Structure 1
Amino acid sequence: MKILVTGGAGFIGRWVIKRLLEDQHDVWVIDNLSNSSTNNIEEFIYYDHFKGFTEGDIKDKKTLRELFKQGKFDICYHLAASINVQDSIDDPKTTFENDTVGTFHVLELCKKYKTKLVFMSTCMVYDQASDPKGITELHPLKPASPYAGAKIAAENMVLSYYYAYTLPVVVVRPFNTYGPFQKTGGEGGVVSIFIHHHLDGKVLNIYGDGTQTRDLLYVEDCANFVVTAGYSQQANGEIINAGTGRDIAINDLALLIAKDPAQIQHVKHIHPQSEIPKLLCNYEKAKKLLNWEPKVSLEEGIKRTSQWIKGSGES
């Protein structure tokens, strides 16, 4: 197939591209490099099926139009977005324009070229888990940050094109994803930041009391989920979660990485109002619809991520 990946030079995008190339699809990439790097995808540049990288913004309609006209894509994996919760609180306009308005521009072209759209949403749209079996797709939503609000708005636009125009679309909501190629600084994920600090001999800072839990999904499992959702006709018109079905308190995660309570300290939370106290995924729908299950345990994922950070010069 001919496939476009928006935000493809980003952390998850890089792994999505890898899987698509392994599956022998022709892949085009667009990314504005605001929170990503061409270093993430440089190893793919010389693959026969890698058809081109465009440094461009999804809000630039002209660039997007030219790309769709050239590619006439079968699927668009739409991963380009502002993803930082604190940034969305400080500057909601940018997040709304990137995540909601940008998605609208992509949708319009998908409609024109009858391109299936896989929309990357987030577990941050949910209220906290109250069911011990975890959060299903029918769970209540709570836009606790402008980031979550922009994603919910975009999800609804995406689904409206399924109902109004019978455009094949899927909304995917992966839980907290971590692994190699994730940033180890301020806009990275908690696992990468903790490992980076531990390898540098620094203290691990935990926001708040550390009892908040996360369901941590290894990036290759996440990418396989996202790609499979694009391949599946059964997934059209659906919202689908992906996680491990196991959550861990941030205190326990820090201890798992640092091995020493003296290396851990608690600091004042920078955005307590947008914190979700308990995130636990129920991925039964993904298992049933896509025959997908996570394969990499948290312990194994931490090991692989540590090895990558050590070897990449990120630490």
Structure 2
Amino acid sequence: MKILLTGGAGFIGRWVAKHLLSEGHQLWILDDLSNGREENISEFKEHPGFIQFINDSILNETLLEDLFNENHFEICYHLGASINVQDSIDDPRTTFNNDTIGTFYILEQCRKHNTKVIFMSTCMVYDRCNDETGITENHSTKPASPYAGAKVAAENMVLSYYHTYGLPTVVIRPFNTYGPFQKTGGEGGVVAIFINNHLKGIDLNIYGDGTQTRDLLYVEDCAKFVVSAGFSDAVNGEIVNAGLGKDISINNLASLITGNLMKIKHIEHIHPQSEIQKLLCNSGKATSLLDWKPEVTLEEGIARTKTWIQQGGLL
């Protein structure tokens, strides 16, 4: 199939691209490199299915119109977004423009060409979970940051195009994803940052008291989930979660990675109002509709990520 992948030079996008190419599809990647890196997809450049990399923005309507008119995409995986919660608090306009208005521009082109849309949302739209069975798609939302608010607004637009125009769309909400190719600096995920600091002998800094929990999904499992949503009519018009199904406190995660409690430090939270105390995913819907289950344990995923960083995979 002819597929457009926005945000394809990013961390998760890179793995989605790899999976799509391995299945024999023709792939175009659109990414402005505000979060991604062209080096992430350099290994795909000679692949016969890799048609084009476009270094531009989803806010460029003229570009989008030309791309869709020329190529008549059958599927659009829309991962391109501003993804940093703290940045969204400091600069909500940029996040809203990229995540909400940019999604609207994508939807308009997909509507004209009847292109299926897989919209990457986030678990950060959810309210705190106190149920040990985990957060289902029916769990209440609480946009505690402009990032989450922009994603909720975009989700509603995506679903409205399904109900109004019959456009095949699906909203996916992966939980905290980690693994090789994730940045190990300030914009990276907690697992990559902790592993990198541990390997350098640097303290592992935890915001707040560290009792907040996260459900950590290995990136290859996430990519398989993302791709599968594009090829199933069963999820059209639906919201679907994906996670490991187990949560771990940030304190315990740091201990698991470093093994040295003296290297774990607690610091004042920059934006405590955006913190979600407990995130635990219930992926039952993904299992039922997509026959998807995570395969990589947290311990194995951490080991793979550590090996990647040790072999020079620092970003």
- What TM bracket, shorter-length normalisation? over 0.9
Structure 2, unmatched stretches of 5+, are none
Which structure 2 residues correspond to residues 1-315 of structure 1 after superposition, within 5 A? Answer: 1-314=1-314
**Structure 1 Cα separation of the partners of residues 17 and 313 of structure 2:** 23
- Please list the CA deviations of residues 112-131 of structure 1 after superposition, one character each: whole Å capped at 9, or x if unmatched: 01000000000000001121
* SS of alignment partner, residue 180 of structure 2: coil
1:303 Cα shift?
0.3
Q: What TM-score, normalized by structure 1, do the two folds share?
A: 0.99
- Please list the CA deviations of residues 86-118 of structure 1 after superposition, one character each: whole Å capped at 9, or x if unmatched: 000000000000000000000000000100000
Number of residues paired by the alignment?
A: 315
**Structure 1 Cα separation of the partners of residues 274 and 171 of structure 2:** 22
**Structure 2 Cα separation of the partners of residues 84 and 260 of structure 1:** 29
User: For residue 199 of structure 1, what is the amino acid of its counterpart?
Assistant: L
**Structure 1 Cα separation of the partners of residues 31 and 7 of structure 2:** 5
Q: CA RMSD in A?
A: 0.7
* SS of alignment partner, residue 62 of structure 1: helix
User: For residue 274 of structure 1, what is the amino acid of its counterpart?
Assistant: S
User: For residue 32 of structure 2, what is the amino acid of its counterpart?
Assistant: N
**Structure 2 Cα separation of the partners of residues 244 and 199 of structure 1:** 25
**Structure 1 Cα separation of the partners of residues 10 and 70 of structure 2:** 23
**What percent of counterpart residues are identical?**
65
Q: Which moved more, 1:12-21 or 1:63-72?
A: 63-72
**Structure 1 Cα separation of the partners of residues 49 and 35 of structure 2:** 25
**Structure 2 Cα separation of the partners of residues 31 and 276 of structure 1:** 29
**Structure 1 Cα separation of the partners of residues 22 and 121 of structure 2:** 24
**Structure 2 Cα separation of the partners of residues 111 and 214 of structure 1:** 36
* SS of alignment partner, residue 197 of structure 1: helix
- Please list the CA deviations of residues 188-222 of structure 1 after superposition, one character each: whole Å capped at 9, or x if unmatched: 00000000100111000000000000000000000
* SS of alignment partner, residue 311 of structure 2: helix
* SS of alignment partner, residue 51 of structure 1: strand
User: For residue 181 of structure 2, what is the amino acid of its counterpart?
Assistant: F
**Structure 2 Cα separation of the partners of residues 265 and 191 of structure 1:** 15
**Structure 1 Cα separation of the partners of residues 208 and 91 of structure 2:** 23
* SS of alignment partner, residue 234 of structure 1: helix
User: For residue 150 of structure 1, what is the amino acid of its counterpart?
Assistant: A
1:65 Cα shift?
1.1
Greater than 6 Å deviation, 4+ residue runs? none
* SS of alignment partner, residue 82 of structure 2: coil
- Please list the CA deviations of residues 110-156 of structure 1 after superposition, one character each: whole Å capped at 9, or x if unmatched: 00010000000000000011211000000000000000000000000
**Structure 2 Cα separation of the partners of residues 224 and 62 of structure 1:** 31
User: For residue 128 of structure 1, what is the amino acid of its counterpart?
Assistant: R
1:313 Cα shift?
4.7
User: For residue 52 of structure 2, what is the amino acid of its counterpart?
Assistant: G
- Please list the CA deviations of residues 246-294 of structure 1 after superposition, one character each: whole Å capped at 9, or x if unmatched: 0000000000000010011000001100000000000000000000000
User: For residue 299 of structure 1, what is the amino acid of its counterpart?
Assistant: E
